[in-house]
Every structure is written in structure tokens, then in C-alpha cells.
A and B are shown apart, each in its own frame.
Chain A
Amino acid sequence: MEASTATTAERISVRRRVGVAVGVLAAAVLLVLGLLPSFTSPYIVSLFFLLYMFITLSAGWNMFSGYTGYINFGYTAFLGVGAYGMAVLITRYHFPWIVAIPTASGLAAAFALIVGLPLLRIRGVYFAIAMLSLATVVGILASTRFLAPVTKGGVGIPMLSGMSLTMQYYVMGLIALATVLATYAIANSRFGLRLLSVREDELAAQVMGIHTGTVKLAAFALSALFGGAAGAVQAAFLSYIEPASVFNINYTVRPIVMALFGGQGTVFGPVLGAVVFTFVAEIIWSRFLALHLAIFGALLILLVLGMPQGVIPWLQRRSFLPKTRKL
């Protein structure tokens, strides 16, 4: 009896020490990242900006698809709506960027609510293809003459957001942080459990009284909110947007690959994946420009065949990491 209480106490103190260590480490990383623009080159700042964007996209995609199992293969539609929202609000209505970013993100979420209501009834591979089609449709629509008064058609919109690179860096960083914190909150809430129940067995979830339709729609819109925010800041970063640059299947597939690498349906999997793949992609891109897609494709094939469940679940299964939804 005494021995067992001692182990429990020991365990608690170990857990506390691990908690403190993780906290200190996280604070140190945040401090370095926060000071980064003051001591590095614009190139490094841009690279980390991309990293934050991909953390946002990957975690944002995961928030809906990772937890519900509904594969959103058209996530770039939300990024595109956010980017176009931002560009139009700034160039036509002269919004200050600090108002334009949340408004554009809200537009993306509203768009998700409208399209999600009918589309979320479709399941499995049909849902994936429907979302892919949706993203294609929206991308082409943005370049037609019908939306040209707003989107300027295929010509694109040049814009000056009034944000410096440093400001873009901080804003994207904060959005990435918010996305991860939101995922953490969802993962440890009843809402997160409901999402997981949709993934495991949607019918059983319905039978138990979960309004799966509402739950899915809420997660879908949240996921779009963050995707739209990433798109809005990306628009400021590019300072010129056209349909092909923001409605781009790369913004769908890369975040998915990152989430898959780290572990779908985990909080930190997408972050890990984004860190690894953003830097790997940068190296491949700078060394083997002509063949970078082929190399990325080969890595993707190896990843799917070699570690389809992702790093974090893989480590959890082997008890290197605690089996908790907090990760």
C-alpha cells in the first residue's frame, strides 16, 4: 500500500518536472522566435514567415479533417477566399490591415458555413473529390469576367497592405500560435470528443445523441477561419495576388502532408510536420530547382508507404510519448 502511494507521488513529481522543463523550453523557443527579426536577415524572416503560414494551414486543416476523418482536399479554397477578401478590402474599401485580416478570415468562415451546409452530407472519397472540385471552381470563377468587377479577373490585384515584413512575421506567428492553442483547446474538450466520435463511427455518434451535422459544420468553419487568416496575411506578404497563386493545390496538399507526417488528429503533429517539411522543402527547392517536385513526390510516396500513421502516434504506440489527447 505504502509502496504504491510512493510511486504515485513519484510519478506526480516526475510529471511536474517534465511539465516545468517543457514550459521553460517553450518559453525559450518563443523568446528566440520573438526576437528573431532583430538579429537575422530578411531571408530568414521570410522563411520563418512561411513556416508559420504552414503551421497555420496544417493545424487548420487538421482541426477539421484530422479530427473528423472527412478529407478536405480543397483547403486552398479558404486560403484563396481569405487572400481575395484581404486584397479587396484593402484596395477597394481602404480598410486598415488590422481590421481587414479578421474580416477576411470571417469571410472565409462564412463561405465555409455556406458551402459546408450542403457538402458535409457527402462522405468518404466523394467528399474529398467534391472539395477538390469546389476549390477548382472557385479558383476559375475568380478569373472569369463574372467576378471581374471584384477580383479583376485573371489580371490579379496588386496591393500595398501597409504591413512591414517584420509586422507580417509577427502577425502570422500569432495566428499560428492561435491555431495551435485552439486545436489544443478543442482536443481536450467535449467538442473534440464529439469530432473524434464522428471519425470513429458517425452513425453511432448520431445514435448517442450527437448532432454530427452541427459539430462537423462548426469544425469546418473554424478550420476555414484559420485558413482564411493565413491567406489574408499571405496576400499582404505577396503584395500581388492572382487566382493561380492563391487557389493552388499546393496549399492543400502540403499542409496535408505535414499533418500526415506529424500525425493527424493530434495537436502537435501538424506543427512538427510543418517544421520538418518547410525546411526540407526549402533545401530541396534551393538545391534541385528543376526536380524539386519530383523529389517532393518521392518523399510523399515514401511517407505514405513507410509511416502512414505519423510520427507522434507512432511514438505513442511504442510508449515513448504518453498516450494523451494533450499532444
Chain B
Amino acid sequence: MDQFLLVVEVVLRGLFLGMLYALLASGLSMVFGVMRVVNFAHGEFLMLGGFLAYFLWSLGHVNPLLTIVIVMPVMFVAGMVVQRLLVERVVGKPVLSSLLLTFGISIVLMNLAQYFFTTNLRGIPYMGEPAQLLGASYARYTLLSFGIGGVLGTVLFSFLRFTSWGKAIRATSQNAEVAMACGIDVRRVRMVSFAVGAALAGAAGVLAAITSAVYPAIGSIIILRAFAVVVLGGLGSIGGALLGALLIGVAESAGTFYLSAEVGQIIAFVVLIMVLLVRPAGIFGARVEA
């Protein structure tokens, strides 16, 4: 029985971890689906969101949870600006162009954050009391962030499913030319998708600041994991990204628990490479030409 509860704990911790990846990966996947751009700078939106939340809390004394309400619109606008000024220009260009462009954006943002915010770790102490769940205790903020992630995921899903913007995004993702022929303003769809992705990453940043800490390099570390998640689920498939995130979260938690912390770190990539070998375009992915 103890053994069983231990497994439950490992799985739950994995799901909690996976929710953070899911928020990041769903945006990443949506951006790829709509404009075929792999966004290296996506992790930096998480980093900026986290820092914004931290400073709102420490300087402006805003309730840590309420910062989400400010962070998401701000990151939405930031995403819109970055997309229109820079990323839009590499749509339809070779893979290398978008990889290098977004990599450039990523190191600019990271370095500026180091310059202005220093490399210190910044965490928001909030809801640190333990709570019992299925025979193990977790900090409340873990459960809280899982809940918020779940709500945001549901909102995103309904947005894509039921609103006209959502339909336009899905249509563009399936076939941009046909979508254009149907009267969808594809350029605006690209901008909005990118902005929604940035807002979700910003929300993930707030959760990261509450559950652990943010620092300038967090984006470049977590983005690798998010890539693994997205490719695992199939680039452009948002449902796949959610599933992939939870799967990777659990695999990582199990690897950390049963083997070692380093194995936990690499398990995502090992799973990714294995999946790619069997299904070269991810579990739910469409075949994408170079």
C-alpha cells in the first residue's frame, strides 16, 4: 500500500510540474501551427512575466495571484509588438531563419534582464503551508498553481473551440492559404496567436515565481523542455502539447525519484528522441516539410 501511495505521489508531482510545461508548450505549439516558426524566445516571455509579477508584488504590494491579471495583458501586448516588428518577417522563410531570429531575441531579452534585474533568484513566498492530498503533503502553492494552470488550459481550449478567433486560428493552422481564401485575416491571426502564447507564458512565469523562483536564464533552460513537450505532442497540436506536457512531467518526476536529479532533467529529451524515431512528426503531429 505504501508503495502504491508513493507511486501516486510521484505521478501527482509529475502532473503538477507538467502543468507549467503545458502552459508554455500550448502557446509554443499554437505559434508553430499558425506560422511555422519555432520560437526560441518563448521561454523569455515566461521569465519576463515572472519578473513582472515579482516586482508588482515586492514594489507595488499587489497580491501575488492578482498579478496574473496584470501580467497576462502586458505580455499579450509585448507578444504583439515582438511578432509584428520581428517574427512576422520570417514567416515562410527557411527553418534556420526563424530559429536564429528567435534565438537572437531570446539572448537579447535574457541579457537585458541580467543587466537590469541581476542574476539573483526571485521567488514570491505565498501559500507555503502544507496541504494533505492522497497520503502525501504538498505546499499549497503547488495545488494552487495546478488549479490555475487547469483553468487557463480550459479557457484556452474553449477559446479555440468556440470563439470565432479560435476557429480562425485553427483554420490558419490547418491551411493558411485556404483560410485566407475564406476571408480570414491571416496576418492578424498570426499576431493574436503569438500574443496569446506570450500571455500564457507570462502566466506560467507568475506560477514559476510563486512555486519556485525566476531568474534571467530560466527561459533558456525551460524552453528546451518545452520543445521536447511540443515535439512529443506534435508541433501545432495543442491537445498533443497538453498531453505531452503531463507525460513529460510524470516521466521527469519518476526519473528524479527513482534514479537521480540529472536523469530527471534528461528524461524529457530521451523520450523525445525515442518518439521521433518511431513517429518522425510527434504523436499527433502533421507531417511538416522543411
Contact = CB atoms under 8 A, between A and B. Distances in A.
A123 B281 CA distance: 9
Interface stretch (A50-58, A125-133, A213-221): A125-133
Given A294-B111, A298-B108, A305-B101, A124 B90 contact: no
Contacts of B231: 126, 129-130
Interface stretch (B72-80, B149-157, B164-172, B257-265): B257-265
Q: DSSP class of A's interface residues: helix, strand, loop or mixed?
A: helix
A301 to B, nearest CB: 4
Interface string A156-199: 00000000000000000000000000000000000000000000
Nearest to B113: A294
A275 interface: no
A304 B276 contact: no
Nearest to A294: B111
Contact of B235 (A118, A125, A304): A125
B105 A69 contact: no
Contacts of A292: 111
Given A141-B266, A300-B103, A136 B224 contact: yes
Interface stretch (B10-18, B50-58, B92-100, B136-144): B92-100
Contacts, number: 135
A128 B266 CA distance: 17
A297 B262 contact: no
Interface in A226-276: 253, 256-257, 260, 264
Contacts of A304: 90, 97, 100-101, 104
Given A124-B289, A305-B89, A294 B276 contact: no
Interface in B240-286: 260, 262-263, 265-266, 269-270, 272-273, 276-277, 280-282
A133 B96 contact: no
Contacts of A303: 100
A260 B262 CA distance: 34
A136 B276 contact: no
Interface string A271-309: 000000000000000000011111011111101110010
A277 to B, nearest CB: 13
A296 B110 CA distance: 12
Nearest to A121: B280
Given A69-B290, A129-B38, A144-B263, A136 B107 contact: no
Contacts of A119: 273, 276-277
A27 interface: no
A137 interface: yes
Contacts of A296: 107
Interface of A: 69, 71, 73, 118-119, 121-126, 128-130, 132-134, 136-137, 140-141, 143-145, 253, 256-257, 260, 264, 290-294, 296-301, 303-305, 308
6 contacts: A125-B38, A125-B235, A128-B95, A140-B262, A264-B96, A301-B101
Report, nearest first, the 9 A-B pairs whose CB atoms are least far apart. A124-B290, A300-B104, A297-B108, A294-B111, A293-B111, A133-B269, A297-B107, A301-B104, A144-B262
